[in-house]
Structure 1
Amino acid sequence: MFSAVSRQYCTRYDVKRIALQLQPGVVAAAERVCHLDLLFEAGYRVQFKLQGELALLGESLSRIDADGTLTAMAGQGDSAAQEPLLERFFKSIEGRLQRIRHEQEVQNIRYLGNTFVLHGRTVFDVVADEDGRLTIEMHRGSERQQAMLLASALLDGLYDGSIVPR
């Protein structure tokens, strides 16, 4: 089976494969949960659970590949019927995919030798890194003013968007 929607979202977010595994509730009346295991092209993996109506996608599919190939569970084979459900599925996890991509981008930023901007105004260069204590030079016109910054504070700023690479 093939899904254009799946190929589009997997391409957009560099997802190599999504494995789906439906898990029964603890009691018969409990809401079912679908365990998702996402493997990204860069080699990292993220796992989370999906509840509600969209968790039932795990009843019909066991895998979604980047090229749009769907691996159906036994007896499930109509990809056209799956497209609207797959579109809702991807829209429901799109926020998570965006956060995962942002986190991965932040994790890949090299501090030393790079220039950053704090709150859109203060420009600084990271000139040294001693065990997570960064020496920075803030741009003050043509002058540079040295200061210290913890690598964890820079990382926090990159995550929340108050600091951006230049």
Structure 2
Amino acid sequence: MSRSAVSESYCRRYDIASIGFRREAGVTAAAEPVCHLDVRFGEGYSVQFKLQGRAAGIGETVRRLLGDGSLECARAVDPAALEAELAALFREIDGRLQRIRHEQEVQRIRYLGNTFVLNGKTVFDVVEDVDGRLTIAMHRDGGRQQAMLQASALLDGLYDGSIVMRPPSTR
């Protein structure tokens, strides 16, 4: 098994336990090849997606990449060329992994007892959660004003960034 410094660094950044690679020919002879990626994260969840075209070429060389930078390769390759190819792969998938990480962070947020900020202005606390209907207390002119909010609306706002959770130290 070879080792890759760029892979180890990248895997540490996203808490990746392993990435499996499976390359397939295109559906027709003229179609671009496809490489299936199976990304497993340290927290136990995984995602699968495909690479096409030039990016799919990594599947000819690498079969499996582990979080510590270890590589299972299909054939012997020049280590410097492989590092360059892996760096290109990580640039290609970085945006996807950022979105996946954001989604996982949002899904871990507990609503009840936390403070949130809507559009950088409206601050509110979630004081009660009854079957997905949240009672919130908005901070208004030194006081609190109660309102209702659907948990799904809070989740949507967290996903799109219009709502952010305020860190405990700034509450």
Structure 1 letter corresponding to 2:117? V
Counterpart in 1 of 2:169? none
Counterpart CA distance in 2 for 1:85 and 1:61 is: 10
Counterpart in 2 of 1:67? 68
Deviations for 1:105-142, whole angstroms, at most 9, x for unmatched residues?
00000001100001111100001111111110001132
Structure 1 letter corresponding to 2:41? F
Q: Secondary structure at the match of 1:55?
A: helix
Q: Secondary structure at the match of 1:164?
A: strand
Structure 1 letter corresponding to 2:35? C
Counterpart in 1 of 2:24? 23
Structure 2 letter corresponding to 1:45? S
How far the C-alpha of 1:76 sits from its partner, in A, is 2.8
Structure 1 letter corresponding to 2:71? L
> In the TM superposition, what are the counterparts of 1:122-161 in structure 2 within 5 Å?
122-161=122-161
Q: Secondary structure at the match of 2:3?
A: coil
TM-score by length of 1: 0.96
Counterpart CA distance in 2 for 1:8 and 1:54 is: 20
Runs (5+) with no aligned partner, structure 2: 167-171
Q: Secondary structure at the match of 2:76?
A: coil
How far the C-alpha of 1:28 sits from its partner, in A, is 1.5
Counterpart in 1 of 2:105? 105
Answer yes or no: is 1:87 the counterpart of 2:87.
yes
How far the C-alpha of 1:24 sits from its partner, in A, is 1.6
How far the C-alpha of 1:65 sits from its partner, in A, is 0.7
How far the C-alpha of 1:15 sits from its partner, in A, is 0.7
> In the TM superposition, what are the counterparts of 1:3-42 in structure 2 within 5 Å?
3-42=4-43
What is the aligned residue count? 165
Counterpart CA distance in 2 for 1:116 and 1:156 is: 13
Counterpart in 2 of 1:56? 57
How far the C-alpha of 1:93 sits from its partner, in A, is 0.5
The root-mean-square deviation of aligned C-alpha atoms, in Å, is: 0.9
Q: Secondary structure at the match of 2:31?
A: coil
Counterpart CA distance in 1 for 2:55 and 2:82 is: 11
Give aligned-pair identity as a percent.
64
Structure 1 stretches of 4+ moved >4 Å: none
Q: Secondary structure at the match of 1:25?
A: coil
Counterpart in 2 of 1:162? 162
Q: Secondary structure at the match of 2:28?
A: coil
TM-score by length of 2: 0.94
Q: Secondary structure at the match of 2:100?
A: helix
